[in-house]
Amino acid sequence: MRKIIVSKKYDNKKLDKTILDQIPQINTNTFYKLLRKKDIKVNNKRVNKNILVNENDEILVYIPENIIEKKENINKIYEDDNIIIIDKPINIEVTGENSLTTIIHKLYNENDFKPMPCHRLDRNTSGLILFAKNSKSLNILLQKFKNKEIEKHYLALVYGIPNKIQERKMAYLFKDNKKSQVYISDIPKKGYVKIITKYKILQKNSNNTSILDVQIETGKTHQIRAHLAHMGYPIIGDGKYGINKINQEFKKKYQMLISYKIKFDFKTDAGILNYLNKKEFIKNVDINKIN
C-alpha cells in the first residue's frame, strides 16, 4: 500500500495525475485497473472514478506486489549532481509512454528539471543509458556525443567468427519508417546515409559464435544489428535481422546485445562536466554467460 497526502501542487487536479506523478510503479493502464477493482481510497472511501482531489486529501493505493517488484528494479550504476547512468533492462523503451524516461521522471518528480536521456537503446537491447539532471549538462552531453567525445561500447554475441580480430567498416543505411526496419548497402544509394561500425573480437567459441566489442561512430537506428548481419555475423536472438533457425537453436528470444561501457573522452572544454573526462563506467557482465 502507498499513501499520498495531496500537496498544494495537486489541489483540484485529477486523481490519475496525482497518483501517476508520485508513484513510479504505476502507469495509466494499471491506474484504471486499480480503479475498477476499487483498490484506491480517497479520505478512506473507495473510489472507482477519476475524481478531482484537493489539498490535504489522503490517498491510499493498494498496489499488487508483482507490480512493485517489476517497476522498482531500476539499477543506477552511477549518480551525481549532473548525471545518472542507468542499467536499462530489456523490454522497455528509452522514451515514450511507459518508458524508462517516464519512470525516471516519476522518481525525480520534485526536481524542477526532469532528467533526460542523452542517447537511445533499442527496446530489447539492455545496458547503460546516460541521463542529464539539468539543462546545462544535457546541452554539453548532446554536443559531446555529436562530436564523438563519448565512447559507447557494446557486447554482441554473434553467429560466426570474423576473419580479422578488429575492423572498422563503412556502409550505407536506409531507414524504412513504415516497416520500422533498416537496410544496408556497401555502395552509396539515394536515400542511404553513411554509417561506420567498429568491432573487436573478445572471445571465439567452439560453437561458431564469437563475442564482439562493438562501437559505432554514427548512431543510426538498428545500426549495430543490421550492419553486423550484413557483414555475415547476425546477433543471436535478433528476430528482425538475425536468423530464426539460429535463434531457436540457441534458445534466445532477444538480441544478445548489451551496452556495457561508457567512456568520457573530452577533446574540448566540458564546462561543469570536466570532472568526468577520462572516466569510464562499466556494467558488470560475465562474458562467459552471454552465450
Give the type of residue at 117. P
Catalytic-role residue among 81, 122, 265, 269: 122
> To 5 degrees, how large is the angle CA 75–CA 129–CA 237?
90
| 122 in catalytic set | yes
With CA atoms as reference, report the closest residue to 96 among 120, 77, 79, 69.
120
Euclidean distance between CA atoms 188 and 194, whole angstroms: 8
Q: Residue 61 CA to chain centroid, in angstroms?
A: 28
Compute how many other C-beta atoms are within 10 angstroms of the C-beta atom of residue 9.
Answer: 12
In three-state form (DSSP H/G/I as H, E/B as E, the rest C), the secondary structure along 112-136 is CCCCEECCCCCCCCEEEEEEECCHH
Euclidean distance between CA atoms 171 and 185, whole angstroms: 6
CA dihedral sign of residues 237, 120, 181, 161: negative
Euclidean distance between CA atoms 159 and 235, whole angstroms: 6
Q: Contact 8/53 with Cβ under 8 angstroms?
A: no
> What is the C-alpha radius of gyration for the chain, rounded to an integer number of angstroms?
22
Compute how many other C-beta atoms are within 10 angstroms of the C-beta atom of residue 245.
Answer: 8
168 DSSP assignment:
E
DSSP labels, 139-155: HHHHHHHHTT-EEEEEE
Euclidean distance between CA atoms 134 and 114, whole angstroms: 8
- Return the active site residues: 122
